[in-house]
Amino acid sequence: MVSFDVHASERVMNEQARPAAATRQGHVPIRLEARSSSGTRCAPPCVLVIFGAAGDLTKRLLMPALYDLAGSHLLDQSFHVIGIDRADNSDEGWRASLTETMQSFTKDPTAEFYTPKIDPQAWGFVRGRLTYLKGDFIEPDIYRELGRRLSGNVVFYLAINDRFFGPVVDRLGESGLLKQKEGEFRRVVIEKPFGRDLHSAKVLNAQILKQADESQFYRIDHFLGKETVESILAIRFANALFEPIWRRHYVDHIEITAAETIGVEERGAFYEATGALRDMVPNHLFQLLCMIGIEPPRSLDAEAFRDEKARLMQQVRPVPPGNAARGQYGAGSVQGRQVKAYRSEPQVAPESRTETYAAVKLSIDNARWAGVPFYLRTGKRLAARQTQIALVFKPASSPPFAGTQRPAQDILRLQIDPVQGMKMDLSAKVPGPTMRLGPVAASFRYNDFFSEPPNVGYETLLYDCMMGDATLFQRADYIEASWAVVDPLLEAWAEGTPQLYASGSAGPASADELLGRDGRRWLPLETT
């Protein structure tokens, strides 16, 4: 198996940490190397406790991530997983179900995690370390049982509905499971959404911080585990070519796009209560905003990086309703296939006012970006699947072309999905006897230079959590600053109805008008 190379700053850990004690029933004695082929140190001894063992996130994302980490020799031999859920199951039943799901990933090349073959050694390593525990998340019995089974290093992963985040942390704290002894850690990974608005985020932060220290909480956004997202920092700060022009004197505006061709699929009930704005903007899109907008951190230290992210979000002005657009997809054709309207999807209200598309114009009050508009858009059932950041530069105004031919605006595209790479649109001379300008493009794709096996973005984040590196996780002040930016919009959108747009289009007309008022247009959606 090709090694998955985790790019993360490594915090010094206690090399003598005791192996975590956990139930070993059915353990398969498969041994892997202590280091990956790249020399990356394996994670310390640890038990991973997953609340929500029967859920989609566990099956579709966490298990493939653990499989990749095992195949890369980054998990300790004493690593163990305890899965907790209310469904009836057994150790062997849970293992068999997850094995079936892993095998299904070999059959769909379009899936988020696709591999032509499951490595039996890597999956055997994970499979043999799985233990299932039936129980209700808020009943004390499950925590008493965990207390009997656990010692040493533990990561509690809350892969559950957000309404359980606070109660589960309360039970963990009240049962003493979050107390850390010398040389041991107890950490909690909390999925998004962390709150539904500024008020609820503050309440949840206050609630969990009564039970443990801020350093023990790892608020996760798997967007930051994607290699191409992390690579933005390298492109910006490791190349003298870009940083001098990465500012208002040269940049006209910036577009951040996360477009999907899929609909809500079977997640209608979730989406009805969430919508595109809450689901994507204050988390995924703001992560991309921070990667391109922050000031250079003084180091790659976790707190230095997180300080800059929090500082930037505090400089983003709250979005007034006039600087936003929302839409909801109707019926139409996506890539040659007829699809139904959002209101006809399962578990969606026939008169739903939930937005499936959101676009916002942001302004940042600092010396680097003053006067540069940031346009963010996200939506479902659009013309193409595309996640990218585009820096559109100001037109050249110096001689010899000033006042004659007008060169096209240079555009730097940082491509994240489905293409991973970078593209630069430039002007060059068209061959011929006269000086005539024409557009050209220079580009590269990551897979032309780097070998990377299938991954889901959680590999780096799980590894970092076990290593104690919080660089790619969200701090309380950042979370609250993010919600503060969109809070006025959430209040305004509680009323009214989103504008309909045809499935397979670029979105609602109101999104075009948002840029049109500034004399600009969205870049076309494209996948190459």
508, 381 contact by CB (below 8 A): no
Q: What letter does residue 255 receive in the DSSP assignment? A: E
3-state secondary structure of 103: helix
Please state whether beta strands 324-334 and 154-158 pair in parallel, antiparallel, or not at all (unpaired).
unpaired
Integer Cα distance of 58 and 438 in angstroms: 50
208, 169 contact by CB (below 8 A): yes
- Rounded to 5°, angle at Cα 235 from 232 and 238: 125
Which residue is listed with tokens 């988020």?
112
Token pair for 213: 């220290």
Residue 39, C-beta contacts closer than 8 angstroms, at least 6 positions apart: none
Q: Which of 73, 222, 253, 284 is catalytic?
A: 284
* 284 catalytic residue (yes or no): yes
Please report how the helices 227-237 and 286-293 are oriented relative to each other, as an axis angle in degrees rounded to 10: 20
Token pair for 383: 């013309």
**Which amino acid, residue 301?**
D
57, 191 contact by CB (below 8 A): yes
What are the distances in angstroms from CA 209 to CA 26, 53, 182, 400, 501?
A: 37, 25, 20, 61, 43
Q: What letter does residue 127 receive in the DSSP assignment? A: H
Integer Cα distance of 25 and 130 in angstroms: 9
Token pair for 80: 């163990």
Integer Cα distance of 417 and 366 in angstroms: 30
Please state whether beta strands 154-158 and 47-51 pair in parallel, antiparallel, or not at all (unpaired).
parallel
Token pair for 12: 């010094």
389, 411 contact by CB (below 8 A): no
What residues does 131 pair with on adjacent strands?
82
**Residue 23 burial by CB count (10 A; 0-12/13-18/19+): exposed, middle or buried?**
middle
Helices vs strands, H then E, count in the chain: 15, 16
Write out the catalytic residue numbers. 284
